[in-house]
């Protein structure tokens, strides 16, 4: 221990000398001499030329001169080094976060002063913003007391400094601000998924999903496919690899491959992406699309782990949609598992589950016994189940199990249509054919458009074909493609056949 004491005195003396000198040149020389083993100086460099230490922000300097000597000493003390470094880094992070937060929401004149100083000292503020914890955390810390205006100001300034995370988080924030916000989100995302700025995988993914779902824009499958391809081709090193982001990326790539129809390789790729999305990254939204892709190609997964998939669901609506997809697929073990999940939901009194359960029971009965289920259809319709109203209306229209009554059928369809896209389509065709109602083809187009925008495949096809041949509506190949491509992407074979016969351009 006697040999250690002089060393301690010497190192502390050196630290005091460095502190007294305050020389920038001295700091630079020590950084160069010890950069190979000094985490403190490497951390300084990562913090954009010691912005905090130099007093770049308004809070004043934080004196860390001579830390390389203290750190070197700490290495000899073993575990003390880790706690020392953590405490120092936390101090720097907290100071930098607070100062950048204040800067990002400052008035324009103050912001320009910071910008001018940064330019003069060749400092990239964007790196400081990233190092401080990301634009989202900064904006949340700074803006709540100031309102949305300050929140937007913080994001826009961070985006102006080239911080891609700011653009991503700002777009997601805007999507929660109603129609105007979702439209603006598209504007924020677009430059980051283009040859101008470059292709950022997260931002291209969000843009592709927005185009596919029609969030802030009309559904645009061409744009969705292009964004998905850009995300696929982009530099994976720039990807923010959280479970949420990775799941959304695989979701979009599953959608991209699904757009290629029944091509077996595309189906396999699509299923693989959807499976990774929910198995690895626990996103329940990918389970049903995977099952529907398997249904499209008449495929099953023998080692499908139903319990793991179902563990990701957070509510009964997700469970119902999942059960319906399994039953629609029809293959085993999907069909049986779908019925089991449906039974669990029906036991809770879930009206949608009770309705589907009744439908399944109806079709499983021999044809001569199916009318035994009529009381259940009537009871469910009285309880307000739109699908049950629609099914009962079709029975009344065709005289199946009940006397034919087109007037009663129309009344039930009118009641069901506001909440059931398929009922809208059935009602639209009644107005087209004057089936139990006065002919009203304007009403037909109105109802088909509403059902198509809700994503009902047959309505997408019918409306697209009307525009394709100019039946009642004006011939419009561009509008026709919009609907037909959406129908084809959902697996509608007739829509795909029309597009396959058509030239590549309208």
Q: CA-to-CA distance for 41 and 32, rounded, in angstroms?
A: 9
Over 50: is that where the pLDDT of 263 sits?
Answer: yes
Nearest alpha-carbon partner for 250 in 209, 220, 215? 209
Q: For residue 199, what is the enclosing H or E element? A: strand 198-199
Answer for the pair 323, 342: CB distance below 8 angstroms, yes or no. Answer: yes
Evaluated on CA atoms 374, 375, 381, 386, the torsion sign reads: negative
Task: Give φ, ψ of 309 to 5 degrees.
Answer: -65, -45
Q: CA-to-CA distance for 430 and 424, rounded, in angstroms?
A: 10
Token code pair at residue 91: 């101090």
User: What pLDDT band is residue 403 in, cutting at 50, 70 and 90?
Assistant: very high
Average pLDDT rounded to a whole number, residues 242-269: 88
Backbone region of residue 331 per phi and psi (left: phi > 0; alpha: psi in -120 to 50; beta: other values): beta
| Three-class secondary structure of residue 482 per DSSP | helix
Model's pTM, two decimal places? 0.75
Nearest alpha-carbon partner for 233 in 193, 270, 289? 193
* Omega cis (within 30) before 259: no
Q: Decide: residue 461, CB within 10 A, 0-12 exposed, 13-18 middle, 19+ buried.
A: buried
Average pLDDT rounded to a whole number, residues 164-192: 90
Q: Decide: residue 358, CB within 10 A, 0-12 exposed, 13-18 middle, 19+ buried.
A: buried
Q: Decide: residue 284, CB within 10 A, 0-12 exposed, 13-18 middle, 19+ buried.
A: buried
Query: What does the pLDDT look like over 62-111, one tens digit per residue?
Result: 333 444 445 554 454 455 556 656 776 777 667 777 777 888 888 888 88
Over 90: is that where the pLDDT of 410 sits?
Answer: yes
Average pLDDT rounded to a whole number, residues 452-469: 95
Using the structure block, give the residue that is written with the tokens 């010890």.
34
Query: What does the pLDDT look like over 473-493, one tens digit per residue?
Result: 989 999 999 999 999 988 899
Nearest alpha-carbon partner for 429 in 420, 441, 421? 441
Residue-range domain boundaries for the chain: 253-348, 442-506
Of residues 91 and 208, more confidently modeled:
208
| Confidence at residue 456, expressed as pLDDT on a 0 to 100 scale | 94
Q: CA-to-CA distance for 46 and 27, rounded, in angstroms?
A: 16
- Cβ-Cβ contacts under 8 Å for 372 (sequence gap 6 or more): 365
HSE-up (13 A, CA, CB side) for residue 289: 28
Q: CA-to-CA distance for 94 and 99, rounded, in angstroms?
A: 9
Whole-angstrom CA distances from 227 to 165, 255, 283, 289, 505 are: 18, 11, 21, 19, 20
| Confidence at residue 303, expressed as pLDDT on a 0 to 100 scale | 78
Beta-bridge partners for 198: 194
Look at the chain and count its residues. 506
| Three-class secondary structure of residue 241 per DSSP | coil
Mean pLDDT taken over the chain:
81
Q: CA-to-CA distance for 421 and 412, rounded, in angstroms?
A: 14
Q: CA-to-CA distance for 152 and 326, rounded, in angstroms?
A: 44
| Confidence at residue 504, expressed as pLDDT on a 0 to 100 scale | 55
| Three-class secondary structure of residue 198 per DSSP | strand
Class of domain 442-506: mainly alpha
Using the structure block, give the residue that is written with the tokens 């479970």.
243
User: What pLDDT band is residue 370 in, cutting at 50, 70 and 90?
Assistant: very high
Q: CA-to-CA distance for 124 and 440, rounded, in angstroms?
A: 64
Average pLDDT rounded to a whole number, residues 57-65: 38
Q: CA-to-CA distance for 392 and 382, rounded, in angstroms?
A: 11
| Confidence at residue 320, expressed as pLDDT on a 0 to 100 scale | 95
């Amino acid at each position: 221990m006697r040999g250690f004491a002089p060393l301690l005195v010497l190192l502390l003396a050196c630290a005091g000398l460095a502190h007294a000198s305050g020389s920038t040149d001295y700091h630079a020389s020590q950084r160069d001499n010890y950069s190979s083993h000094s985490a403190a100086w490497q951390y300084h460099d990562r913090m954009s030329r010691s912005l905090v230490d130099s007093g770049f922000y308004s809070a004043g300097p934080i004196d860390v001169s001579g830390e390389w000597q203290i750190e070197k000493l700490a290495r000899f003390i073993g575990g003390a080094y880790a706690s020392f470094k953590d405490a120092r880094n936390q101090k720097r992070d907290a100071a930098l976060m607070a100062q950048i937060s204040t800067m990002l929401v400052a008035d324009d004149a103050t912001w320009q002063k910071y910008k001018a100083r940064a330019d003069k000292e060749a400092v990239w503020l964007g790196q400081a913003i990233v190092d401080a914890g990301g634009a989202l955390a900064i904006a949340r810390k700074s803006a709540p007391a100031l309102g949305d205006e300050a929140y937007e100001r913080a994001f826009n300034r961070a985006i102006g400094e080239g911080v891609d995370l700011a653009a991503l988080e700002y777009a997601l924030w805007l999507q929660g601000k109603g129609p105007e916000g979702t439209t603006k989100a598209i504007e924020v995302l677009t430059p980051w998924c283009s040859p101008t700025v470059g292709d950022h995988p997260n931002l291209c993914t969000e843009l592709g999903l927005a185009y596919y779902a029609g969030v802030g824009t009309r559904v645009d499958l061409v744009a969705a496919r292009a964004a998905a391809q850009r995300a696929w081709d982009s530099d994976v090193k720039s990807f923010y690899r959280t479970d949420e982001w990775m799941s959304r990326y695989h979701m979009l790539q599953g959608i991209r491959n699904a757009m290629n129809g029944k091509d077996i390789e595309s189906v396999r790729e699509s299923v693989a992406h959807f499976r990774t999305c929910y198995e690895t990254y626990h996103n329940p939204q990918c389970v049903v699309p995977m099952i529907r892709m398997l249904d499209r190609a008449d495929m099953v997964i023998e080692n499908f782990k139903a319990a793991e998939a179902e563990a990701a669901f957070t509510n009964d609506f997700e469970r119902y949609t999942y059960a319906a997809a399994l039953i629609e697929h029809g293959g085993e073990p999907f069909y049986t598992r779908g019925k089991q999940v449906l039974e669990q939901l029906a036991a809770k009194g879930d009206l949608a589950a009770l309705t589907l359960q009744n439908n399944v029971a109806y079709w499983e009965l021999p044809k001569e016994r199916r009318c035994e289920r009529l009381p259940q259809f009537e009871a469910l319709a009285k309880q307000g189940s739109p699908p049950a109203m629609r099914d009962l209306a079709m029975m009344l229209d065709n005289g199946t199990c009940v006397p034919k009554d087109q007037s009663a059928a129309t009344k039930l369809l009118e009641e069901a249509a506001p909440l059931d896209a398929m009922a809208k389509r059935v009602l639209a065709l009644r107005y087209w054919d004057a089936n139990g109602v006065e002919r009203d083809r304007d009403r037909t187009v109105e109802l088909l458009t509403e059902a198509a925008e809700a994503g009902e495949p047959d309505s997408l096809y019918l409306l697209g074909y009307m525009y394709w041949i100019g039946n009642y509506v004006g011939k419009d190949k561009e509008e026709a493609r919009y609907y037909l491509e959406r129908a084809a992407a959902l697996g509608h074979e007739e829509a795909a056949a029309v597009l396959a016969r058509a030239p590549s351009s309208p």
